[in-house]
Amino acid sequence: EIVMTQSPATLSVSPGDRANLSCRASQSVSSDLAWYQQKPGQAPRLLIYGASTRTTGIPARFSGSGSGTEFTLTISSLQSEDFAVYYCQQCNNWPLTFGGGTRVEIK
């Protein structure tokens, strides 16, 4: 099973600042990587798939990069609605696995 490790666990950011969230895979997952946003009491929402492709309706301030074992989700200028937990998921190898999440909180 591929282990996905996200860092940091918590990121304190001021509105308008840039946030970089990291996701590392225990072995190569090529570009088969998705990012989700989850707010309290809600289901996760798909932001990015294929490591860098935004889902329909996702603002351009969200971008994904990386391949192989190292991935980054960047939020270029944090808005109030972006404070949430973010998960990465590898879609390369069964079972599909998730990282433990990064909580983005208001500084």
Partner 1 sequence: QVQLVQSGAEVKKPGASVKVSCKASGYIFTVYYIHWLRQAPGQGLELMGWINPNSGGTKYTQKFQGRVTMTRDTSITTAYMELSGLRSDDTAVYYCAKTLTGYDDDGFDIWGRGTMVTVSS
Catalog residues that contact partner 1 under the rule CB under 8 A. Answer: 32, 34, 36, 42-46, 49, 55, 87, 89, 91-101
Instruction: Name the β-bridge partners of 63.
Output: 74
Q: Which is nearer to partner 1, 14 or 42 (CB)?
A: 42
Q: Which is nearer to partner 1, 16 or 103 (CB)?
A: 103
d(CA 101, CA 28) in angstroms, rounded, equals: 19
For residue 83, the one-letter residue type is: F
In whole angstroms, the minimum distance from the beta carbon of 16 to partner 1 comes to: 28
DSSP 88: E
